[in-house]
Amino acid sequence: MQAEAEATPGVVPVHHRIADAIRARIVAGELKADDPVPSAGELAEQWGCSVGSARAALDVLTNEGRISGGRGRKKRVRPPAKRIRMTVDFSQQQKDLVLRPEAERAATGAIELTAGISIKQTDFEPKYSELKASPDLAAEFEIKEGATLLRRTYETTDSDTGIRLSWSQSFIPVALIADNPALLDEANEPWPGGHQHQLYTVGIEIDRFVRSVTAAEPTPADRVRWGIQAGVPLVWVRSRSIDVLDRVVELSDAAYPADRVDLVFTERLERWPNNYPRFAEGR
């Protein structure tokens, strides 16, 4: 959701007043994506302030993610990032897709369902490796420490900009999928229908996902890969895939910049029975 352009309250330093004025023009649509914004020198002249105060105003807007540029490049209004929207329907859509024909599965991946972007507009890079289960991972899967896990990392980038759109890693016990050797080879990615179809090929049906969400400060390298501004954290979503036998069959961690992800959860409550007791109003 786009924040409204509210003026900074109280006794307002000049750099905040400058930032407020430019922000209001961006929100109103007077300054559009990729439009240049006045330089620090131009702002200093317009506002009768020091160049340092004008630079501070531009820094405020840069840290908000409203403008980008600098280091020899003119500051411009930053185009809105492609948003990722994850809802409670997302996993069900993927599960429904498992039973569809291969051509349909191949044409619809996670990036279409969450960002509305065609696979053809992206570059996708999978990497597979095997490792021994650490104590923590062994506890997650309720398997012996040292059992072999398949680690899979997936990175999707925008073909035009090279900016990372999504990144995740997952772990799955090799013993669960060994009956289908194709699941151990990254050359078979992208897999039509995604990981739920992969599990389907070895007789595993997902019953539910248990997810937890945390946030962390990204590294400078992460900021470059994702194209995010200072002050924007990464949101980490850990998902546990639990099958109809009540086993954790896959564990995945996915990262999303906080300025472009919407995590929408609906919590449904059981209805009261038809004969539930009524109580007087106000008590």
Structure confidence at residue 172 (pLDDT): 98
- Do residues 215 and 92 both lie within one domain? yes
- Do residues 47 and 181 both lie within one domain? no
Q: How confident is the model at residue 117 (pLDDT cuts 50, 70, 90)?
A: low
Segment 149-173, tens digit of pLDDT: 999 999 988 887 788 888 999 999 9
Question: Is the pLDDT at 3 greater than 50, yes or no?
Answer: no
Segment 97-111, tens digit of pLDDT: 888 888 888 776 665
Angle, alpha carbons 224-216-85 (nearest 5°): 75
Domain boundary among 52, 77, 102: 77
Q: Domain range spanning residue 248?
A: 84-263
- Do residues 118 and 242 both lie within one domain? yes
Q: Which of 121, 133, 132, 129 is nearest to 152 (CA)?
A: 129
Q: Which residue has the higher pLDDT, 27 or 178?
A: 178
- Do residues 106 and 213 both lie within one domain? yes
- Do residues 145 and 181 both lie within one domain? yes
Query: Alpha-carbon Rg of the chain, whole angstroms?
Result: 24
The answer as to whether 147 is a domain residue is yes
Share of the chain above pLDDT 90, in %: 46
Phi and psi at 229, nearest 5°, equal: -90, 165
Q: Which residues pair with residue 206 across a beta bridge?
A: 243
- Do residues 43 and 98 both lie within one domain? no
- Do residues 71 and 88 both lie within one domain? no
- Do residues 30 and 129 both lie within one domain? no
Question: Do 153 and 167 touch, CB atoms closer than 8 A?
Answer: yes
Distance CA 199, CA 276 (A): 43
The answer as to whether 150 is a domain residue is yes
Angle, alpha carbons 194-196-198 (nearest 5°): 70
- Do residues 52 and 151 both lie within one domain? no
The answer as to whether 281 is a domain residue is no
Instruction: Check which CATH number belongs to the domain holding 29 and give it.
Output: 1.10.10.10
On the question of a cis peptide bond just before residue 190, with omega within 30 degrees of 0, the verdict is yes
pTM: 0.69
Domain count, the chain: 2
The answer as to whether 100 is a domain residue is yes
- Do residues 64 and 172 both lie within one domain? no
Question: Is the pLDDT at 137 greater than 90, yes or no?
Answer: yes
- 152 burial via Cβ count (<10 Å: 0-12, 13-18, 19+): buried
Question: Is the pLDDT at 2 greater than 50, yes or no?
Answer: no
